[in-house]
Amino acid sequence: MRVRQLTTAAAALLLAAGLGGCSGDPGPARTPAPAPVPAEPTATTGDVRPADRTAVRDGGTLRWAVDGVPATLNAYQGAATADSALLAHALYPSLFRPDEHGRLVPDPDYLAGAESTPPGQSPQVVTYRLNPRAVWSDGTPVSAADLDAQRTALSGLDPAYRGRRAAGYDAVDSVVQGADPHEVRVTFRRPYAEWRSLFGPLYPAAETATPAAFGRPLTGGRPSAGPYTLSRYDAEGGTVSLTRSPLWWGDRPKADRIDFIAVPPDQRLDALGQGRLDVAPLTAAVDRAVPAASPAPASAPGAPASAPASATASASATASGSAAPPPAAAPEAAALALRRAESLPGVTVHRAAAASLTQLTLNTARGPLTDPLVRRALTLAVDRRRVADAALTPLGLPAAPLGNHLLAGDQEGYRDNSGAAGPGDPGRLLDDAGWMRPAGGGARTKDGKPLDLSLLVPAGSATARRTADALTAGLAESGIAVRQVPASAESFVGQHLAAGDYDLALFSWPVGPSPAGEQRPAYAKPRPDPDGVPDPGGNFGRGGTEEIDRLFDRAAAEPDPATRLDLLQEADVRIWQLGHSVPLYQRPELVGVRTGVVGAGAYGFGWPRFQDVGWSG
């Protein structure tokens, strides 16, 4: 599931998890594309090997760190977090699940088969064969009623449903039972090629059939249909406990219980060192480490855990309602935190490239960046390899720059389209745009004004700071002065991105198996609001064209995978030529896992197969 409606809460979540991000939970005539550039080798987007279930013993409890007990388990509600989605994968069906390369494959626990009508046949009808053994925890079979209620809730046709926009549901015309209770026929009002992304996670009809039901917090006590069932939901105590579902029909879950424990990132190294956690995401713990008041020496390998070597920066609200930025991240503190994590006895730090693309976004509607020549010059002046090296090498990940706005390096069909920005010297382009370099060097000027751009950076992130420093130094070589403006998670989106109060911005977008539907809001041409003012929606770069929109729409409707990929590549080429943004690298993902735990680590595109997670025999 990759939900794309933007919300400040979701953006804050990703801003806190490594380099900043915005969750879209948040939101043509064909011309030849440039010759493809060979893909750079990149870190795998997941380092969890398929579990050999014979090597995993039955029983035991796993303790898994989360940021907090989520306000809801309904991943489509506005209050949902990444922890909502994590828990939903253990409790609710997903008809398809992504593999390590972001390809959606059927989950046989829920889906016996699925087939769409042949290309060109209208209307498009997808026939699902549900696993006849799949039942909710109250014994009710998973059925067409569940799919139909979810389609109604997420289609956007009824504004009373105040959930996150989920791409594709608005293309569905009807959902009905087929030849028997296990067959479901979904008819589309327009062709939708990325139909495999729908119905994951899937909720029981009682939770989505009406706006009132959909809007209430989903916190347990109601039916689920996964390998585990909810046995404890203690928001005040900070623990969600899952135990084996007695009605689960698939492979028997290995662990007796999984406790998801709310542990702030700055406390996770201590908790791992003291044996209180078995699985702990560490990206934020390392990335947002700040110097301790009295630094303690890093623990030597095999030594007991000492006092915390890091603390998470926290933003405090001012009287005006804006948030003060947290203390500046110190690269040295982040390095110490990483070394400490690597030296914890009985803990392995797993590394991978996350399913999230870090990019430099250009505000095409403000100042010098309204000039396409200036945007093209800036795009060419960014040394993506230098930036990726600064961001990723200190974390032990390959310095793999990205050359595609829509696909990650390990995704099927990835191609480096950066050559579409065209040949040319950034300095000469800036000369042509009237921005001249003073004889003594320094920032270029035009009509007496310097080429001085603000760079919005997630406050408190060491990775963002290293990235911004590399960008600043590289752009200065072409005479482009950059002022870094740190912003807290609370203010980053609402007060800066959405308001257009920035020139350049550094953040990440999630990337998933359905780029035509999921990525379109980030690049859609702004449309006039009722007052006639262009509304950027989720397109914070504020640049777009009718051609790019048509390419996304054609890709979303194209049933042939190869042709669909060609359309997406062409859209990416046009985004490069527009000078909307510069993809830099995949966001890093670090996870600490206790020795003996099987099936857990850094998942990249995928998510845990919870019935296989447990302790080695």
Looking at residue 529, its pLDDT comes to 86
Supply the pLDDT for residue 198: 97
> What residues pair up with 113 in beta bridges, in sequence order?
129
Please classify residue 361 by burial: count the beta carbons closer than 10 Å to its beta carbon, then call 0-12 exposed, 13-18 middle and 19+ buried: buried
Q: What share of the chain has pLDDT > 70, as a percent?
A: 86
143-169: pLDDT as tens digits:
999 999 999 999 999 999 988 878 899
Segment 474-489 mean pLDDT: 97
In a domain, 473, yes or no: yes
Does the pLDDT of residue 612 top 80, yes or no?
yes
Say yes or no to pLDDT of 31 above 80. Answer: no
Strand, helix or coil for residue 348: strand
* Two tokens, residue 142: 């998973």
What is d(CA 445, CA 110) in angstroms, rounded to the nearest whole number?
A: 62
What would the pLDDT profile of 398-420 be if each residue is shown by its tens digit? 999 999 999 999 898 999 999 99
With respect to residue 229, please indicate whether it lies within any of the assigned structural domains: no
Q: How confident is the model at residue 120 (pLDDT cuts 50, 70, 90)?
A: confident
- What's the pLDDT at 165? 74
Residue 167: predicted pLDDT: 86
pLDDT number for residue 291 = 80
Higher pLDDT, 164 or 501: 501
Cis status, amide bond into 401, omega within 30 of 0: no
What integer is the mean pLDDT of 265-293?
A: 93
Query: Is residue 384 assigned to a domain?
Result: yes
Per-residue pLDDT reduced to its tens digit, 341-395? 999 999 999 999 999 999 999 999 999 999 999 999 999 999 999 999 999 999 9
CB 521 within 8 A of CB 510: no
Q: Is the pLDDT of residue 429 over 60?
A: yes
Q: Residue 450 pLDDT more than 90?
A: yes
Which tokens go with 314?
């926290």
pLDDT one-digit tens code per residue, 6-16: 343 344 334 43
Judged against a pLDDT cut of 90, whether residue 571 lies above it is answered with yes
pLDDT at residue 188 greater than cutoff 50? yes
Asked if residue 376 belongs to a domain, the reply is yes
The mean per-residue pLDDT over the stretch 327-344 comes to: 84
pLDDT greater at residue 33 or residue 429:
429
Alpha-carbon radius of gyration of the chain: 24
- Token pair of 608 as six digits: 């845990």
Residues of 368-387 as b/e, b for ≥16 C-beta within 10 angstroms? Answer: bbebebbbbbbbbbbbbeeb
Distance from C-alpha of 365 to C-alpha of 317, rounded to nearest angstrom:
29
What confidence score (pLDDT) does residue 41 get? 33
Of 146-160, 265-279, 322-336, 545-559, the one with minimum mean pLDDT is 322-336
Angstrom distance (rounded) from CA 536 to CA 550: 17
**Which residue blocks in 545-584 are alpha helix, DSSP H?**
546-557, 561-578
- pLDDT, residue 534, reads 85
Q: Which residue has the higher pLDDT, 29 or 617?
A: 617
Of residues 212 and 328, the one with the higher pLDDT is 212
Instruction: Report how far residue 25's alpha carbon sits from residue 163's, in angstroms, rounded to the nearest whole number.
Output: 9
Q: What is the pLDDT of residues 218-259, one digit of tens each?
A: 998 899 999 999 999 999 999 999 999 999 999 999 999 999
- Rounded to two decimals, what is the model's pTM? 0.87
Mean pLDDT of all residues in 570-578:
98
Question: Average pLDDT in the 51-73 region?
Answer: 94
Structural domain count, the chain? 1
Q: What's the chain's length in residues?
A: 617
Residues 418 and 63 sit within 8 Å (Cβ to Cβ): no
**Which domain covers residue 486, as residue numbers?**
352-589
CATH number for the domain harbouring residue 546? 3.10.105.10
- Residue 174: inside a domain: no
Examine residue 265 and state whether it is found in any structural domain, yes or no: no
Q: Which of the four pLDDT bands, split at 50, 70 and 90, describes residue 46?
A: low
Distance from the Cα of residue 328 to its chain's centroid: 24
Q: 296 vs 143, which has greater pLDDT?
A: 143
pLDDT of residue 332: 87
Question: What pLDDT does residue 124 have?
Answer: 97
Give the phi and the psi of residue 202 in degrees, each rounded to 5: -110, 135
**Lowest-pLDDT range, 17-21, 438-442, 479-483, 521-525?**
17-21
pLDDT (average), residues 9-30: 37
Q: What are the distances in angstroms from CA 316 to CA 6, 322, 482, 600?
A: 23, 9, 27, 34
Instruction: Give yes or no for a contact between 166 and 3, defined as CB atoms under 8 angstroms apart.
Output: yes
Report whether 325 contacts 17 (CB < 8 A). Answer: no
pLDDT at residue number 30: 28
What mean pLDDT is reported for the chain?
87
Residue pointed to by tokens 């960008």: 471
Residue 49 has pLDDT above 90, yes or no: no
pLDDT of residue 317 exceeding 80: no
Question: Which range has the top average pLDDT, 5-14, 21-30, 275-284?
Answer: 275-284
- Whole-number pLDDT of residue 293: 53
Q: Where are the alpha helices (DSSP H) in 1-46?
A: 8-16
Dist. CA 185–CA 177, nearest whole Å: 6
The pLDDT of 87-114, averaged and rounded, is 95
Residue 76 included in any domain: no
Residue 300 maps to a domain = no
Confidence of residue 35 (pLDDT cuts 50, 70, 90): very low
- Report the Cα–Cα distance between both ends of the chain, in Å, rounded: 33
